[in-house]
Amino acid sequence: MARLEWIPALAVGNAEIDEEHKTLFALINKLDDLRMSEMGRRELRDVADELAKYVHVHFTHEESLFTAKGYPGAAGHIEEHRAFIGKVAEFHARIIGGDPKIAGEMANYLRTWLSRHIAMSDRKYRPWLADQAKGN
Ligand SMILES: [Fe+2]
Ligand SMILES: [Fe+2]
């Protein structure tokens, strides 16, 4: 599976959000590395825990920008986040439950979903965010 790599074309116009996206990419790559190296279940669980928590941190941050400034696309975007959180929780529970083989499937799903979400949905708020910064 190809590694996730953040490229400037994925920038949303907010340096902190971009850094969070990079951290998420790094965590997903780590999950995939652990699967490949067949390292201990404990470490795999730690990365899955960290990912589940960090997804919350990042989504909460994005959503707080939407609600603070009234992003018109907020409802649909938040719905996408909710669906993803449900899926992450499902994978996470299976890893905790001792199904390490699921790590590959989890890394694959996260990778596809997140790259698509950033490229399509997160990038969509970029012009709105830029307008906010100008005080419009
Ligand atoms: Fe995002
Ligand atoms: Fe998002």
pLDDT for 13 beyond 80: yes
In a domain, 104, yes or no: yes
Q: What is the mean pLDDT of residues 74-87?
A: 97
In a domain, 3, yes or no: no
In a domain, 73, yes or no: yes
Q: How far is the CA of 102 from the centre of ligand 1 (A)?
A: 24
Q: Model confidence over 37-71: pLDDT tens digits?
A: 665 778 888 999 999 999 999 999 999 999 998 99
Ligand 1 (ion): residues with CB under 5 Å are 122
Q: How far is the CA of 61 from the centre of ligand 2 (A)?
A: 9
pLDDT for 135 beyond 80: no
Question: What residues make up the domain containing 65?
Answer: 13-134
User: Domain of 82: which CATH number?
Assistant: 1.20.120.50
CA 72/CA 52 separation, integer angstroms: 27
User: Hey, is 85 helix, strand or coil?
Assistant: helix
In a domain, 4, yes or no: no
CA 58/CA 82 separation, integer angstroms: 12
Number of domains in the chain: 1
Q: Which of 34-38, 89-93, 106-110 has the least mean pLDDT? A: 34-38
In a domain, 1, yes or no: no
pLDDT band at residue 19, thresholds of 50, 70 and 90?
very high
Considering every ligand atom, which ligand is closest to the CA of 20?
Answer: 1
Helix boundaries (H) for 1-136: 15-37, 41-69, 74-96, 102-117, 126-134
Considering every ligand atom, which ligand is closest to the CA of 121?
Answer: 2
In a domain, 90, yes or no: yes
Q: How far is the CA of 121 from the centre of ligand 1 (A)?
A: 8
Q: How far is the CA of 94 from the centre of ligand 1 (A)?
A: 24
In a domain, 6, yes or no: no
Q: What is the mean pLDDT of residues 62-85?
A: 96
Q: What is the mean pLDDT of residues 115-125?
A: 97
50-56: Cβ within 8 A, 24+ apart: 51/24, 51/27, 51/88, 51/92, 51/110, 52/88, 52/89, 52/92, 54/20, 54/23, 54/24, 54/27, 55/24, 55/84, 55/85, 55/88, 56/85
The predicted model scores a pTM of: 0.92
CA 16/CA 11 separation, integer angstroms: 10
In a domain, 5, yes or no: no
pLDDT for 99 beyond 90: no
